[in-house]
Amino acid sequence: MNHFLTTEDLPRDDLESFLDEADEFVDVLSRPIPKVPALRGKTVATMFFEPSTRTKLSFEKAAKALSADTMSFSPSTSSLSKGESLKDTVLTIRAMGADLMVVRHKATGAPWRIAEWLDIPIVNGGDGAHQHPTQALLDSLTLRQHFGSLDGVRIGLVGDIRHSRVARSDIFAFATLGAEVTMVAPRTLLPVESTDWPAAASEDFDDVLQELDAVYLLRVQAERGGASVFPSLQEYVNRYGLTRERFRRLKPDAVVLHPGPMNRGVEIADEVADSDRALVLNQVSNGVAVRMAVLFRLLGGDRDA
Amino acid sequence: MPPPGMRPPGMRRDGMRPVLIQRILDEGDIGRATTRIAHEIVERNRGSTDLILLGIHTRGVPFADRLAVEIETIGGKGIPTGRIDIGLYRDDLDTRPKTRIGKTEVPEELDGATVVLVDDVLFTGRTIRAALDAIADLGRPSRVQLAVLVDRGHRELPIRPDYVGKNLPTSLDERVTVRFDETDEGEEGVWIERGGDA
């Protein structure tokens, strides 16, 4: 059974073939009728045990553009609140006819557990602070569209690396695709294991600012305790925010990415967010295309090939 | 295993030699058939100013390009040529081996145009059915015609070609292999393989 759970062990060839296929889906999405019948009759279940707007909508849009049906699940209105176990919940949805499940869960590893229980492909839509592999694909695609290739592109990931599944997924994908990645964060917001990651580290944003071709701003994750290491948000802004002043000191052609939702005035200044060098909306539209590529890879064609 | 295009003619996917291989068309035959079809397209669409050739991946693409060159030689005017991939429109996605999706490029608006779909071999008609669906999503041509190099019969759908290079009666256990210089290694031509357990 094929799943899509992490970018950590994805070889460069696989990553690039996902991106090549996503390019074709970008074309499909730009047609007058942005829909193909490839997954007619298949059902994609989006199981978001943790709140999300864009990722869930993006997966649903991707499924519909491939003519699959969608089923969705949200914990607050489900039997989880009546005490049903995770296993019973996913077995129930499978029994209703789901052919693939997109899982988001606050617990690290939850999609892997569900993959053991079920006989259908599982896509990780974000597990805890661990992985968010389709985000890494859409970020890689956005950068590849802009730079042509990630080879030698200098990317700085700035902010709360420790609590960020986006950072974990992106660092491995970017490095595999040949980029030079620097994590910019105070030591307290770098996880212990990050010394083994294919990325350099710096505590001083201003130090590396002028070397970067792309700045990837991470959201300050108050809900995962990311704000608590700073005495105040203003302190964070002063050291790690992409302020107007820092934006002006970037290379003139450097671009800015953010996974959303943005905290304007915290990690990203208004002027930066609205600049044409911010690729945030490209990231969002590319998200649909890469998720189409993932769904098509897992559900279209001979699954065991 | 080498990709299908790299297989020597007659060498089957399992690497075993079939009992009999026969070359049906050589390079010269393909050239003459191309010229004749080009003339037929021009004659049939006399006066139509909005002809578009669409090659179906993989070998319909070079065949469409060649037809465009011939038509230009005859009519003195360039013919817009595009390509479509029908991978996302197949009705047998569940049972086929996965293939990479190719580029779909349409040179201009299909609305109101005369589209000539171009492929190398016409067999069951399912590829053409998928291509017609793909075209319907891309625009509304005023008419669609079909040009193929080889018609090997065994249609499963009510589809027929408008231009045929060679009618080739086959049995279902035979394989037809087309090789073009643009897409394949080795000598150009059309082969039929008989026997074995194909």
Q: What is the ipTM of this complex?
A: 0.77
pTM for the predicted model, two decimal places: 0.88
Selected for mutation to probe chain B from A24, A27, A31 (highest B CB count within 10 Å) is A24
**Chain A to chain B, count of Cβ pairs less than 8 Å apart?**
52
Class of domain B27-168: alpha beta
CA closest to B130 among chain A residues: A37
CATH number for the domain that contains residue A124: 3.40.50.1370
Rounded Cα distance between A166 and A287, Å, is 13
Range of the domain at A266: 133-279
Rounded Cα distance between B106 and B89, Å, is 17
B89 and A36 in contact by Cβ < 8 A?
Answer: yes
Q: What is the pLDDT of residue A84?
A: 80
A32 and B87 in contact by Cβ < 8 A?
Answer: no
B93 and A20 in contact by Cβ < 8 A?
Answer: no
In the block, tokens 């499963």 appear at B156
In a domain, A1, yes or no: no
Point out the residue among A24, A31, A296 whose CB comes nearest to the CB of B138: A31
Say yes or no: A270 and A293 in one domain: no
Point out the residue among B96, B104, B138 whose CB comes nearest to the CB of A302: B96
Please check the confidence at residue A15 and state whether its pLDDT lies above 80: yes
A302 and B103 in contact by Cβ < 8 A?
Answer: no
In a domain, A231, yes or no: yes
**b or e along A47-83 (b: 16 or more beta carbons within 10 Å of the residue's beta carbon)?**
bbbbebeebbebbbbbbbbbebbbbebebeeeebeee
Say yes or no: A157 and A38 in one domain: no
In a domain, A98, yes or no: yes
Say yes or no: A128 and A138 in one domain: no
B88–A contact, CB cutoff 8 A: yes
Please return the burial class of A22, using the count of CB atoms within 10 Å of its CB with bins 0-12, 13-18 and 19+. Answer: buried
B93 and A300 in contact by Cβ < 8 A?
Answer: yes
Q: In what order do the strands lie in the sheet with A122-127?
A: A69-73, A43-48, A100-105, A122-127
In a domain, A5, yes or no: no
B137 and A35 in contact by Cβ < 8 A?
Answer: yes
Say yes or no: A204 and A143 in one domain: yes
pLDDT mean over B141-149: 97
Query: What domain count does chain A have?
Result: 2
Say yes or no: A126 and A137 in one domain: no
Residues in chain A closer than 8 A to B96 (CB atoms): 301-302
Say yes or no: A187 and A261 in one domain: yes
**All residues at 6 or more sequence positions from B119 whose CB lies less than 8 Å from its CB, including other chains:** B55, B56, B59, B60, B63, B127, B128, B131, B146, B147, B148, B149
For A47-96, write each residue's pLDDT tens digit: 999 988 899 999 999 999 999 999 998 777 666 667 788 999 999 999 99
CA closest to A18 among chain B residues: B100
For B160-195, write each residue's pLDDT tens digit: 999 999 999 999 989 999 999 999 998 999 999 987
In a domain, A169, yes or no: yes
For A247-271, write each residue's pLDDT tens digit: 999 999 999 999 999 999 999 999 9
In a domain, A26, yes or no: yes
B93 and A301 in contact by Cβ < 8 A?
Answer: yes
Residues in chain A closer than 8 A to B104 (CB atoms): 24, 27
In a domain, A305, yes or no: no
B104–A contact, CB cutoff 8 A: yes
Say yes or no: A138 and A240 in one domain: yes
Q: How do the domains of chain B map onto residue ranges?
A: 27-168
> Are A256 and A242 spatial neighbours (Cβ–Cβ below 8 Å)?
yes
Selected for mutation to probe chain B from A19, A35, A302 (highest B CB count within 10 Å) is A302
B94 and A301 in contact by Cβ < 8 A?
Answer: yes
Q: What is the pLDDT of residue B92?
A: 78
Residues in chain A closer than 8 A to B88 (CB atoms): 28, 36-38, 66, 296, 300
Selected for mutation to probe chain A from B93, B106, B108, B132 (highest A CB count within 10 Å) is B93
Alpha carbons within 13 A on the beta-carbon side of A43: 11
Point out the residue among A32, A38, A297 whose CB comes nearest to the CB of B88: A38
In a domain, A3, yes or no: no
Say yes or no: A39 and A85 in one domain: yes
Say yes or no: A156 and A241 in one domain: yes
Instruction: Give the closest residue to A190 by CA, choosing from A214, A223, A164, A221.
Output: A164
Q: Which two tokens stand for residue A98?
A: 């789901």
Instruction: Give the closest residue to B134 by CA, choosing from B98, B103, B95.
Output: B103
Task: Read off the amino acid at residue B91.
Answer: D
Please check the confidence at residue B39 and state whether its pLDDT lies above 90: yes
